[in-house]
């Protein structure tokens, strides 16, 4: 099917944090007539509060968190010209949250958690519709769960692309003619209609999935930084914006920890060749980054990404004589526990690996369960090292170039490199360092390779 003129615009938590932020985002929506679908995150802080409520708290802390959520949402309602229109609906949502958090205090479950945390996006999108309507803009609220069909893996649900495409075409597409549609990121529903979530930061992914289903010409991700930088500008103040970057490079960055994009965001974009723009809703005139298929002269070194809180497992075979098949058994066990391996190095009778935490669950549960450890321990001796950080150097044709090792590791002389992965992908060189050294390592490398 041919491409449309449609742009899907997604606004993250800080872009809908309060009344002023929502109005700045509304300005951004209205400056481009092609923006017909708007995907929103919960107001900043709300998802964290809801996740904590889902853990099942005592009455007192529960009341405190509920007040906090009410305060954030009422901060917006109270500044509307006609707050009455929406107050009841938000009150109903707040009552639901109260009820669900009481249920969580009796017994928690992943399904209950998803139902509870979905209210953040439900509320922010309702409020944003009112912000637009007060400007006389035809805007309609749309419950994304009608089209965002997912698996029932609560907390980290996988979209069912074919059903999602069909539902989007029949239920959502016709509505785009008459009004700007405002919907929720992050949430979906499984076959029986129960609410699911796509994992923390999942609203970017929602925008890309809907963009793909609607054959959009572009997906705009509006956040609190004017683009994708050479590394997290919060870690390195001298990081600079990358004006154009390829899908592959940006996907590597997102996978290895650049929070600016959810790791899965670029999958639909690459599949359907839809450019993704990243910019700041606080400062739209500052421009941003275009993620697309091809760029001029892709550089050898593109960016640095950092992923904290990595766990390294070192597995030593118990039986050196029968080491054959050892890796196969290790992978089998990990697969049964639904875990994919991230970094890996091997020797004949041992293997060191990190667990893939990309797209972590909405609840932030650890992948390293007691059941997994017990099963691995029956096969091998298991060593667990916590508090490591993964640093990824992203680039192009890295494995074909000469001198990369010297240039990178020369700078890192004062640091302990716990594990190095290089050569499987020509786009990255990754290594683990002690968590406490991570920022220093990134700064030293950035200084040497990018400044
Ligand atoms: P949103 O709520 O809009 O989705 P996020 O907090 O998820 O925003 O992502 C934006 C943040 O990503 C920035 O504030 C920045 O600190 C962080 N970040 C990490 N790596 C990068 C990078 N390479 N370029 C830009 N921002 C990055
Ligand atoms: N509100 C969700 C979160 O905080 C999803 C998102 O913002 O992308 O993780
Ligand atoms: Mg985000």
Between 142 and 339, where is the model more confident?
142
Residue showing tokens 């009820």: 99
Residue 436 domain flag: yes
Residue 1: pLDDT band with limits 50, 70, 90: low
Please tell me whether residues 215 and 105 are part of one structural domain. yes
Residue 358: pLDDT band with limits 50, 70, 90: low
Please give the number of the atom of ligand 2 that sits closest to the Cα of 12. Answer: 7
Tokens of 77: 């309602």
Cα three-residue angle 234-237-242, rounded to 5 degrees: 90
Please tell me whether residues 164 and 15 are part of one structural domain. yes
Please tell me whether residues 187 and 317 are part of one structural domain. no
Residue 89 domain flag: yes
Please tell me whether residues 24 and 168 are part of one structural domain. yes
Q: Looking at residue 325, what is its pLDDT?
A: 82
Region at 266 (left for phi over 0; alpha for psi -120 to 50; beta for the rest): alpha
Residue 317: pLDDT band with limits 50, 70, 90: confident
Residue 347 CA to ligand 2 center (angstroms) comes to: 40
Residue 238 domain flag: no
Across the chain, mean pLDDT equals: 94
Domain-terminating residue out of 183, 198, 224: 224
For position 346, which CATH number holds? 3.30.2130.10
For position 152, which CATH number holds? 3.40.1160.10
CB burial readout 57-85, b (16+ within 10 A) else e: beeeebeebbeebbebbbebbeebeeeee
d(CA 139, CA 192): 29
Domain-terminating residue out of 224, 241, 258: 224
Residue 437 domain flag: yes
Q: What is the mean pLDDT of residues 242-269?
A: 95
Q: What is the mean pLDDT of residues 93-122?
A: 97
Q: Looking at residue 321, what is its pLDDT?
A: 57
Residue 362: pLDDT band with limits 50, 70, 90: low
Residue 270: pLDDT band with limits 50, 70, 90: very high
The 10s digit of each residue's pLDDT in 403-421 is: 999 999 999 999 999 999 9
Residue 378 domain flag: yes
Tokens of 36: 């017909």
Helix (H, G, I), strand (E, B) or coil at 301: strand
Residue 242 domain flag: no
Domain-terminating residue out of 176, 201, 224: 224
Give the residues surrounding ligand 1 with Cβ less than 6 Å away: 12-15, 41, 201, 223-225, 228-229, 231-234, 253, 258-260, 303
Please tell me whether residues 62 and 204 are part of one structural domain. yes
Residue 141 domain flag: yes
Domain range for 423 is: 302-450
Please tell me whether residues 38 and 161 are part of one structural domain. yes
Q: What is the mean pLDDT of residues 52-73?
A: 96
The 10s digit of each residue's pLDDT in 152-191 is: 999 999 999 999 999 999 999 999 999 999 999 999 999 9
Q: Above 70 in pLDDT, residue 423?
A: yes
Residue 11 annotated as lining a ligand binding site: yes
The number of domains in the chain is 2
Q: Above 80 in pLDDT, residue 356?
A: no
Please give the number of the atom of ligand 2 that sits closest to the Cα of 201. Answer: 8
CB of 353 within 8 A of CB of 369? no
Please tell me whether residues 61 and 205 are part of one structural domain. yes
Residue 322: pLDDT band with limits 50, 70, 90: low
Q: Dihedrals φ, ψ of 312, to 5°? A: -105, 130
Please tell me whether residues 41 and 145 are part of one structural domain. yes
Q: What is the mean pLDDT of residues 82-91?
A: 96
Helix (H, G, I), strand (E, B) or coil at 252: helix
Residue 38 CA to ligand 1 center (angstroms) comes to: 19
Q: Above 60 in pLDDT, residue 364?
A: no
**From 9, 16, 42, mutation site for ligand 2 pocket: most ligand atoms within 8 A of C-beta:** 42
Q: What is the mean pLDDT of residues 59-71?
A: 97
DSSP letter (8 states) at residue 250: H
Please tell me whether residues 440 and 338 are part of one structural domain. yes
Residue 297 domain flag: no
Q: Looking at residue 109, what is its pLDDT?
A: 95
Please tell me whether residues 218 and 355 are part of one structural domain. no
d(CA 345, CA 328): 14
The 10s digit of each residue's pLDDT in 284-293 is: 999 999 999 9
Q: Above 70 in pLDDT, residue 113?
A: yes
Bridge-partner residues for 317, per DSSP? Answer: 380
Please tell me whether residues 214 and 311 are part of one structural domain. no
Please tell me whether residues 214 and 86 are part of one structural domain. yes
């Amino acid at each position: 099917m041919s491409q449309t003129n449609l742009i899907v615009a997604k606004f993250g938590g800080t872009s809908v944090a309060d009344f002023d932020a929502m109005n700045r985002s509304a300005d951004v929506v209205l400056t481009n007539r092609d923006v017909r679908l708007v995907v929103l995150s919960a107001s900043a802080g709300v998802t964290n509060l809801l996740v904590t409520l889902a853990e099942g708290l005592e009455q007192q802390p529960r009341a405190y968190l509920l007040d906090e959520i009410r305060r954030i949402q009422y901060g917006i309602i109270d500044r509307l010209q006609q707050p009455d229109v929406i107050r009841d609906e938000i009150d109903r949502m707040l009552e639901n949250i109260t009820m669900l958090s009481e249920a969580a205090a009796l017994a928690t479950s992943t399904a209950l958690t998803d139902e509870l945390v979905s209210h953040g996006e439900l509320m922010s999108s309702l409020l944003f519709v009112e912000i637009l309507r007060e400007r006389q803009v035809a805007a309609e609220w749309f419950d994304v769960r009608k089209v965002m069909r997912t698996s029932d893996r609560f907390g980290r649900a996988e979209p069912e692309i074919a059903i999602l495409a069909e539902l989007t075409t029949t239920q959502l597409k016709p509505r785009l003619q008459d009004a700007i549609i405002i919907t929720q990121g992050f949430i979906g529903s499984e076959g029986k209609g129960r609410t699911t979530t796509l994992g923390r930061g999942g609203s970017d992914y929602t925008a890309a999935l809907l963009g793909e289903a609607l054959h959009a010409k572009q997906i705009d991700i509006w956040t609190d930084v004017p683009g994708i930088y050479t590394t997290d500008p919060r870690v390195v103040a001298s990081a600079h914006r990358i004006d154009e970057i390829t899908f592959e490079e940006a996907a590597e960055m997102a996978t290895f920890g650049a929070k600016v994009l959810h790791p899965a965001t670029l999958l639909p974009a690459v599949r359907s060749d839809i450019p993704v723009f990243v910019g700041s809703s606080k400062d739209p005139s500052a421009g941003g980054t275009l993620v697309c298929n091809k760029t001029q002269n892709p550089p050898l070194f593109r960016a640095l990404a950092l992923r904290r809180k990595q766990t390294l497992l070192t597995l030593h075979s118990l039986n050196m004589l029968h080491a054959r098949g050892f890796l196969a058994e290790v992978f089998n066990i990990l697969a049964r526990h639904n875990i994919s391996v991230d970094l890996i190095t091997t020797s004949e009778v041992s293997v060191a690996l990190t667990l893939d935490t990309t797209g972590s669950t909405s609840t932030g549960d650890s992948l390293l369960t007691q059941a997994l450890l017990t099963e691995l321990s029956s096969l091998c001796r298991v060593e667990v090292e916590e508090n490591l950080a993964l640093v990824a150097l992203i680039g192009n044709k890295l494995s074909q170039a000469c001198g990369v090792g010297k240039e990178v590791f020369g700078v890192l002389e004062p640091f302990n490199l716990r594990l190095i992965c290089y050569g499987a992908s020509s786009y990255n060189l990754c290594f683990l360092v002690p968590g406490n050294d991570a920022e220093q390592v990134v700064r030293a490398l950035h200084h040497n390779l990018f400044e």
